[in-house]
Chain A
Amino acid sequence: MINIPYLTALTTLFSYGLLFAFGQLRDLFRKFLEWFSSNKLQGYAPICLGLEDFYTRRLYLRIQDCFGRPIASAPDAWIDVVERYSNDYNKTLKRTTNTTRCLNLGSYNYLGFAAADEYCTPRVIESLNKFSPSTCSARVDGGTTVLHEELEDLVARFVGKPAAVVFGMGYVTNSAILPALIGKGALIVSDSLNHNSIVNGARGSGATVRVFQHNTPSHLEEVLREQIATGQPRTRRPWKKIIVVVEGIYSMEGELCKLPEIIAVCKKYKAYTYLDEAHSIGAVGKTGRGVCELLGVDPADVDIMMGTFTKSFGSCGGYIAGSKELVKYLKYACPAHLYATSMSPPAVQQVISAIKVILGEDGSNRGAQKLARIRENSNFFRSELQKMGFEVLGDNDSPVMPIMLYNPAKIPAFSRECLNQKVAVVTVAFPATPLLLARARICISASHTKEDLIKGLEVISKVGELVGIKYFPVEPEKQQLEGREKLE
């Protein structure tokens, strides 16, 4: 739970209030202007009604340059950020040919497979030559290649499940699997901070959705008890089945799921568990097998294991791992398997090679080194940030660490200032977080060296000082200096 300091909450609300008032004022002027010009709609309803795009027009556009910065290189430890400029007060941004080399603290490149890799890249190019970039066909038709089969076996072996099926996009994996598994008369109990793809999948399934407090097993138990006791609304029939959906690492919070407790509750109440390991697979656990390994949960206790290849494996797509029957059923019923173009073969090869490196099957110990490095880097960076007095969310071992900003003005200030000092950070605002809880998010990679991390920390500390986001009482400077000396 995030406790906003009282004063901060007040100033944040005041800022948003001010922005809203100004926005309204500008809208009023706009209305006057439009009154005089001829009506362009010609009888069509406007694309956005009322306040639907108010946020975009009046709040987001002001700080548009902090988001979607194009890069001209692989999303590795250092990236070339393309410079942009605007001639119309940030309404549109134009690309230039200039780039700035920046330290990348924003990409989900946890294991450092984003850039060309000595083991992966040659194999990927070989697959590209053999299979071309696309099969132009769905998996059930002519879209299954030997690579897809190999990856499915490998993923099943890697996550410790009997079988797996892969899809070409992580988002689609969630949003097309849930409707195939569950429907009317069944219940989805979802964590309140689950990713949008899960929300869309749940909505698309037609099942009833109930939400439990973020990462709170006791509340999950409460919800389950109440729902099983009362049954379906109106008809009062008992639920057909209940699926509890949680994520391994919550990408906006950096928190690890309290999986052992949640599994215990689900087992007690006979609910099925769906674990989305989008950010955790490959990134945490001694051998990179995700939260199950890290928290000591037997994968057999999780009914449906979902994950993506976008993050740790530096590719694209997603998987579902489960029992043989489950996978067979999904291959028969899931629309993403039946209708969507299959995953691009070179991307499949990238995942195969990356998993082999992680497992040490490439004949080196690079995988183990990468895993040790990401853990070390994450824990070092997190503890340093905490020492500096930032409000850092999340758990140890998690490579995602949000730094709370709160005030809307601090979003662009932090982002732009960091970029000026050649550190690319991600700031997250409204559509992805609650309005008041804007934050900067640091994603640590195994490809960061210690020097990179120290540079990052120095810049963040300096900018944090400037912007005023060290919300926790800063420890005496002496200690901080000592800590830094130790590093060097």
Chain B
Amino acid sequence: MRRHETWFPLGPWRVPYNFSHDRKKTGENSPRLRDLSNSVTSTPSSATGEFRLAIFRTTRSLQTVLDLMASAVMNMTSSALDWLVVAFDAPFARAVVFGVHVDGHFVVEVLLVAVILFQLFQKSYKPPKRPLTEKEIDELCEEWVPEPLIPPLTKGMDYEPPVLESAAGPHTMLNGKEVVNFASANYLGLVGHEKLIESCTSALEKYGVGSCGPRGFYGTIDSHLDCEARIAKFLGTPDSILYSYGISTIFSAIPAFCKKGDLIIADEGVHWGVQNGLHLSRSTVLYFKHNDMESLQNTLEKVTRQNQRAKKVRRYIVVEAVYQNSGQIAPLDVIIKLKEKYRFRVVLDESNSFGVLGNSGRGLCEYYGVPVEKIDIITAAMGHALATDGGFCTGSIRVVDHQRLSSSGYVFSASLPPYLASAAITAIDMLEENPNLLSKLKENLAILWKGFSDVPGLSIASNPHSPIVFVHLKKSTGSFESDLKLLEEITSRVLKEDSVLLVTSKKSFLDKCRLPAGIRMFVSAAHSESDLLKASEALKRVAASVMSDFI
């Protein structure tokens, strides 16, 4: 046994206590311990000396108890081991095989090693893989019931828009009746203009209607190139690029420049085209409060400070010049300051400001006196002030050329019908030749604003210089839908009773903009003073009667 004692590490601590004895001692100790702890907790205010003594006693007795417990456990283990060793020693009788003593220890250790090896080589448990059988798949396919292609139609969905029987000028024909039209963004009153139609006619005779091909494949007509050059010259940019549809301009241009991982800070009030572009770009998009420069600054600050990576990726601020959803004008001077401070590029959608703002209609840059080079990417739809269709994007040569191969709406779509490009050229020529169009528009806006001074229940949300006069409810009725319904009631009555065509800001369920509903009035330079007064009078009267029903 001597050899055994040195070999086994637990040996030297063996104490000749037996198990029952030990149990008895602990049993005696425990009431004492409890007493002491009681005395400590029951006399917290006694003298410190006594307190210390009590603690000393407690620790001492605790130590004794622990010692005793430890030795008891050791005893138990070692006696169990002793028994085991004896049990295994016996059959081999400490035989020596090849110089190795085969004793109980050896047997136990070999057994343990064997168990470990067995466990190591065992595969971890996985439920057996049983792929679905063909029959099961058949059953699943049989069971599967798809939703209907479209949700059930509700009553609100069968809205019938007005059907125009003549050109969408300031006055148009609806159901054989002449109405004053505030639904067309014909800001300069070019719809139906002789010169515009003349240029279209000659283009139609020369080029036909469609271009029958994308720009890359013989769909580039010389009038496209002329139009691009004309726009660039008008805005003072090096080049521009034409798109065949207004709304596709911005949603193709944004993904051409912003990719996954890039950073975009956008206004929360941007229209659906911009939202779609942001979504398609797969960039990280952060929104700031609608037209709130403080919020923009905070967002920029937060993003650049928090995120070191933000310094390496492409960073863009996306704003609209005149917001289609509210008629607000973006404060470009502040945006430029912020952009330069934080080194962001600016994407500006000028759809509702090109040809309208500024002394000569060159848009928001001119309005704020900001050099156009400061804006990196400008897009605009030509279906508003220019009274044609399509859109363009302009900026540096690099920006424009990059889109010619990277912008999906440009590369993969048939080009703009050439007659619309000619119309755009003529429209810009006319705008340059007749600056009084712009002053007339400003006058008209002022007249309408004056007429709107006290419409019951309604107020103007737009900027006084915005060509969209956006009228919304002073107090919301609770939801966008109910507001819209109320406003629609007003517009339909105005149309019926006063023959003035007004439109509400309808919204697709895909549109994520959360701005309140309103009546959008597109003011034109071609509206006469009487048209404007008629509209404001009608709105005032109808609103008063409708609102009194509701409030």
Q: Which residues of B in the span 159-188 have a Cβ within 8 Å of any Cβ on A?
A: 159, 161-169, 172, 181, 183-186
Minimum CB–CB distance from B70 to chain A (whole Å) comes to 53
Instruction: Give residues of chain B (472-512) contacting chain A, Cβ–Cβ below 8 Å.
Output: 501, 503, 506-511
Q: Which residues of B contact A228 (CB under 8 A)?
A: 137, 140-141, 144
- Given A73-B206, A328-B157, A269 and B162 contact (CB-CB distance below 8 Å): no
Q: Is A476 an interface residue (CB 8 A)?
A: no
What per-residue 1/0 map shows which CB atoms of A110-153 lie under 8 Å from chain B?
Answer: 00011111001100110011111111110111111110110000
Interface centre among B201, B209, B248 (most CB of A within 10 A): B209
**A144 near B191: Cβ-Cβ < 8 Å:** no
A225 to B141, CA, bound (A): 7
A201 vs B271: C-alpha distance in the bound complex, in angstroms? Answer: 18
Tell me the dominant secondary structure on chain B's binding face: loop
**Contact B146–A271 (Cβ < 8 Å):** yes
CA distance A314 to B417 in the complex (A): 9
Contacts A137-B183, A181-B149, A181-B150 hold; do A68 and B212 have CB atoms under 8 A apart? Answer: no
Q: How far is the CA of A200 from the CA of B200 in the complex (A)?
A: 32
**A107: contacting residue among B151, B217, B345, B383, CB under 8 A:** B217
Q: For residue A337, which residue of chain B has the nearest CB?
A: B508
State whether B141 touches A303 (Cβ < 8 A): no
Give the complex CA separation of A229 and B138 in angstroms. Answer: 8
A389→B538 CA distance, assembly (Å): 75
Closest B residue by C-beta to A199: B408
Which of B144, B184, B246 lies in contact with A238, CB distance below 8 A? Answer: B144
Give chain A nearest CB distance to B39 CB in angstroms. Answer: 62
Q: A70-B220, A132-B168, A229-B140 are in contact. Are A329 and B206 (CB under 8 A)?
A: no
B221 and A347 contacting across the interface, CB-CB below 8 Å: no
Q: Does A392 contact B (CB under 8 A)?
A: no
Among B172, B204, B213, contact of A106 (Cβ-Cβ < 8 Å): B213
CA distance A358 to B148 in the complex (A): 35
Q: Which residues of B contact A186 (CB under 8 A)?
A: 147
Give A306 Cβ to nearest chain B Cβ, in Å: 14
Closest to A424 in B: B218
Say which size band chain A's interface belongs to: 35 or more
Q: Does B419 contact A (CB under 8 A)?
A: yes
B161 & A139 in contact (Cβ 8 Å cutoff)? yes
Interface check A370, CB cutoff 8 A: no
- For B115-154 the 0/1 string (1 means CB < 8 A from A) is 0000000000000000010001100110011111111010
Assuming the A-B contacts A136-B384, A228-B140, A338-B506, are A242 and B146 also in contact, with contact meaning beta carbons closer than 8 angstroms in the complex? yes
Q: Does A315 contact B (CB under 8 A)?
A: yes
Report A412 CB to chain B, min CB distance, Å: 14
B402 neighbours in A (Cβ, 8 Å): 47-48, 53, 56
Within 8 Å by CB of A204, from B159, B162, B280, B388, lies B280
Smallest beta-carbon distance A108→chain B, Å: 5
Contacts known (A68-B220, A133-B200); A340 close to B246, Cβ less than 8 A = yes
Chain B residues near A241 (CB-CB < 8 A): 146-149
Selecting from A168-176, A209-217, A253-261, A458-466, the interface stretch reads A168-176
Q: Known contacts A145-B165, A346-B419, A426-B218; is A47 also within 8 Å of B314 by CB?
A: yes
Report yes or no: A69 in contact with B218, Cβ–Cβ below 8 A: yes
Q: Are B163 and A146 in contact (CB under 8 A)?
A: yes
A47-B209 contact in complex given A333-B510, A335-B508, C-beta closer than 8 Å: no
Inter-subunit contact B247/A339 (CB<8 Å): yes
Quick one: which of A73, A79, A144, A314 contacts B161, CB cutoff 8 A? A144
Total interface residues on B, using CB and 8 Å? 114
A203 to B278, CA, bound (A): 12
- CB pair A128–B184 under 8 Å, yes or no, is no
B535 close to A (CB within 8 Å): no
Closest Cβ–Cβ distance, residue B37 to chain A (whole Å): 55
A315 touches B209 (CB 8 A): yes
Interface residues of A in 67-100 (CB under 8 A from B): 67-76, 79, 81-82, 95
Per-residue CB contact flags for chain B residues 197-216 toward chain A (1 = under 8 Å, else 0) read 10011001111111111011
Interface residues of B in 236-267 (CB under 8 A from A): 244-248, 251, 257, 259
B55 at the interface (CB under 8 A from A): no
Question: Is B381 engaged at the interface, CB distance under 8 Å to the other chain?
Answer: yes
Contact with A along B377-419 (1 / 0, CB 8 A): 0000101100111000000001100101110110111101101
Given contacts A45-B314, A204-B276, contact A74 B510 (CB under 8 A): no
Once the chains bind, are B159 and A272 in contact (CB under 8 Å)? no
Cross-chain contact B197 with A129 (CB below 8 angstroms): yes
A316–B508 contact, CB under 8 A? no
Cβ A326 vs Cβ B387 within 8 A: no
Interface contact A131-B201, CB-CB below 8 Å: no
**With A133-B387, A133-B423, A333-B509: A128-B200 Cβ-Cβ less than 8 Å:** yes
Q: A70-B221, A128-B197, A424-B218 are in contact. Are A141 and B183 (CB under 8 A)?
A: yes
Asked whether A426 and B387 contact (CB < 8 A) given A43-B343, A121-B205, A240-B146, the answer is no
Q: A42-B343, A132-B192, A137-B522 are in contact. List 10 more A-B contacts (CB 8 A).
A: A48-B402, A53-B402, A68-B215, A133-B197, A142-B501, A171-B248, A228-B144, A229-B141, A268-B141, A328-B158
Q: What are 11 A-B pairs at a CB distance below 8 A?
A: A106-B217, A109-B212, A128-B204, A130-B166, A131-B167, A134-B423, A175-B248, A331-B159, A332-B156, A339-B508, A344-B388
Please name the 3 residue pairs, one residue from A and one from B, whose CB atoms are nearest each other, closest first: A142-B183, A341-B383, A169-B245
Measured CB to CB, the residues of B under 8 A from A are 132, 136-137, 140-141, 144-151, 153, 156-159, 161-169, 172, 181, 183-186, 191-193, 196-197, 200-201, 204-213, 215-222, 224-225, 244-248, 251, 257, 259, 271-273, 276, 279-280, 312-315, 324, 343, 345, 381, 383-384, 387-389, 398-399, 402, 404-406, 408-409, 411-414, 416-417, 419-420, 423, 501, 503, 506-511, 520, 522
